[in-house]
Structure 1
Amino acid sequence: MYEIQLKERFIGYSASVAKEGEQVKINISGMTSTEDGDLHLKYLDGFPAMILSSLNKDIQPCDIKNMVVLVSKDLKAKVYINEIEIHGQVHVKATNIERGQEVKKDDISGFERIQLKGIEFTEDQAYCCILSYGWDRIYIFDFSPLDDKFERKIEYDVEKLLGSCFSYLTFGTFHKIPPSVWNNILRQNWFPFYALKLSTVESLISHARNEWDIDELMEDIEHDTLLYIEERRQAWGNDQNLASFISFLDRAMARHKENDFLSSSLIIYPKIEALIRKSFITDHPDKEGRQQKALIEHITEKTTRSISALTTFIPDKFRRYLEDCYFKDFSVTCDTNPVSRHSIAHGASTIDKFDKKASLLGLLVFSQITEYIQQSSQWSNLPPTEVTSD
């Protein structure tokens, strides 16, 4: 750790252009990553570069893997470079993780918080952090405490923010999907479901980006789905919020394995809505949960409040899937509607539409909702698991 005395008060980065005497907008806090290109490099060439030049050490930008700078109001700065021991508190996706076990990306769904051993973030200190994962790098900063005019303080949990940022860095596959690719995924009635392995999600996104048929991945999707549900079934059955639905899941799974996709779909689709409604009524006992919009808002917003949106749960994105696909409206002028909650309820789909895809989607949506309910209501504080950027 280095201690230095800054000569200038750094309060942020210009967000606009201005001539002498004009006003300029300043970003006093923010985050960039490698994908931000020139802006990311410009930010790193600002305050971090100034810090390196003040150290009187032969440390080049290419030498930086992780870096944290804490600056007090008197402009005294503590600088940590590559000596940072990073610990993460994570949402576990694997069935079981033993102490000392190597943790892979498929074993977790994101970071709840990041703790930097020996480093304490206080409300009256400005900070900047550079964190790396593989080839990618993220830069987080907040210089608001250095603004003497407004006496600002940091009033949020910095470690939780770092957790969200590290999740974004680690699971960029989920969080960097362009709008056009999202549209293609949803148009094909698919979603990067939580139950799928990362390799399958990457293939799904690649197919959508290239405008290929995602149904070509059906066998991989089916393998991941059935394996995940079988691994999670006992945990769901032991949850009082979910136990009454598991017998329906078991029956739907049995019918799916017998290729009776009609029965599987007819069993599971209505229970998805019932599952959301039970959660809604538990939180709003004075209401009946009959409105589709209220149910969608409840399950996705509750999950977002409880779990960072930058995990692989992505409840903010799943809201659109529920609206556009699961609760998709049907046409009264034909009977060839894709299988949805409404087409089943109103008998608006022909029997050929009840295929393997329809059944799998029902099972996947059900598993996604069960995880939302369980994780948002029972997520407990786990001992920090050491994170490395290998």
Structure 2
Amino acid sequence: MTAGAQQQQLARRNVGLLMAAQALGGASPPIIISLGGLVGQMLASRPDLATLPVSLYNLGLALSTIPAALLMRRLGRRAAYVAGALLACVAGLVAWSGIVQGSFATFCAGTALAGFYGACVQSYRFAASDAVAPPQRPAAISRIMLGGLAAAVIGPQVVIWTRDAWPTAPFAGSFLGQTALALLALPLLLQLRMPPPQAEAAADAAARPLGVIARDPRFAVAVVAGVVSYGLMAFIMTAAPMAMVGCGHTVGEAALGIQWHVLAMFAPSFFTGRLIARFGKVAVTAAGLLLIAASGLLALAGLELLHFWGSLVLLGVGWNFGFIGATALVTEVYTPAERAKVQALNDFLVFGTVALASFGSGRLLNTAGWDTINTAMLPLIAAVLLALAWQGRRRAAAT
């Protein structure tokens, strides 16, 4: 077998392992998101603090993006990913302990600790794209997102089957399930064979300063599209379970709504890569933002179960197109010597915004209501669509 064929085989193997690890690691956020606000309502001293556990998870993820990137650069991706899974085991136990003891602060500490694992899981898509040739990157990113299909089933089903497993502490068993999922991911991550970090470090002299890259209009538009796609999705998804329960729907119906939403987030990955190859990254990203706008309009149409579920499904598909398209746009901006710091900056900006969005969603839901949340996102989407149209014209002129 030639060296090129061996390299392609190794790349396929790594992408397959990362896809399976995504299925397990991606199941943790649905547990935290679907239950975080409900446990917060049960334990918090004030109603406006109910979404704090979810917000702290997103904040922990955002703050962990740069340390995780530095750890990957120093020790390699495999070591960093294994460390993330081990910390997720601890995080699940801490969250479980907080519920059993009735301690809101301890529960919040557990969800915040889970953020480091979330940062590692989010970087799986970049690890896959770095393993293949540039024309294959959108397809590799889509394959990693396919692991989310299993996560969309695993996470909510863990909630449904384990929420009453601890009779004296509702929902505590679900966070033990979170620990079990991280343990199952460890053997997969230990089998990864990624390039040693020294191979990237040797190219540091050729890398541009991060400030120069950040001022590149291509980077700015890609980051803004990713920020808005992911930020709006997190904003709506954090508030949706509480809004559903507040409108008379059951906890199980809220969890199933999140399950349909997460399925819709990842199911299009079967063909998103092909759509990008056919229509281009800018067009697919714009289509995603239009679908997110459509989800808001459907949510404004009524408060029946089908309005909530339909809105969450459109939101998920829109996120898939918008976020995968924006990620693919980011991969055009950096060289191999620059990718670690550019990927870290991109994820810090995206997930920092997600954290801010989730901090504000609970307060806005209590003060302004569900309709206001869905109305407020429409002007943001319009602004990003204009930026993408400008970027599309620039690309066409360059071609």
TM-score norm. by structure 2 comes to 0.24
Choose between structure 1 and 2: higher helix proportion: 2
Choose between structure 1 and 2: higher strand proportion: 1
TM-score norm. by structure 1 comes to 0.24
Computing the radius of gyration over CA atoms, which structure comes out larger, 1 or 2? 1
Which structure has more relative contact order (CA 8 Å, sep 6+)? It is: 2
